[in-house]
Amino acid sequence: MIGNLPFVVCMILVALGLWTLVTKRNLIKLVIGIGLIESGVNLFLVSLGYVRGGIPPIYTYAPADGPMVLPTPQALTLTSIVIGVATTALMLAFAVVIYRHKGTLDARKIRDLRG
């Protein structure tokens, strides 16, 4: 059970992010919600790659029969972080533009597109 603790923490982060998206109406807070989900997923990916007593997956260091840490999840996480930076930046940029037009970041007051 205690071995699953990292996964539980990741899922709590994801749930918090979803909760933020559902309850908050400030555009910046919505972006933060996306960030929370993203961190949860990234941590989940990293924790998947953990091997107890594993060694870095560098070929020349490897003993003949020792367990190695999986390199793939780390590569995936790096990619995912880079993508996350791009999406966050794009969303914040749009939030800035919206603020310049409307003078507010409250999603309830930004209602040009309805119906």
Binding residue (CB under 8 A) for other proteins from 12, 15, 78, 86: 86
- The answer to the question of residue 44 lying near other proteins (CB under 8 A) is yes
Count helices and strands in the chain by DSSP H and E runs: 3, 0
Angle at 12 between CA 6 and CA 16, to 5 degrees: 150
13 lines the binding site for other proteins (CB under 8 A): no
What is the DSSP track for 5-17?
HHHHHHHHHHHHH
C-beta separation of 67 from 95 below 8 A: no
Q: Give how many residues touch other proteins by CB under 8 A.
A: 33
List residues near other proteins by CB under 8 A.
14, 18, 21, 27, 30, 34, 37-38, 41, 44-45, 48, 70, 72-73, 76, 79-80, 83, 86-87, 90-91, 94-95, 97-98, 101-102, 110, 112-113, 115
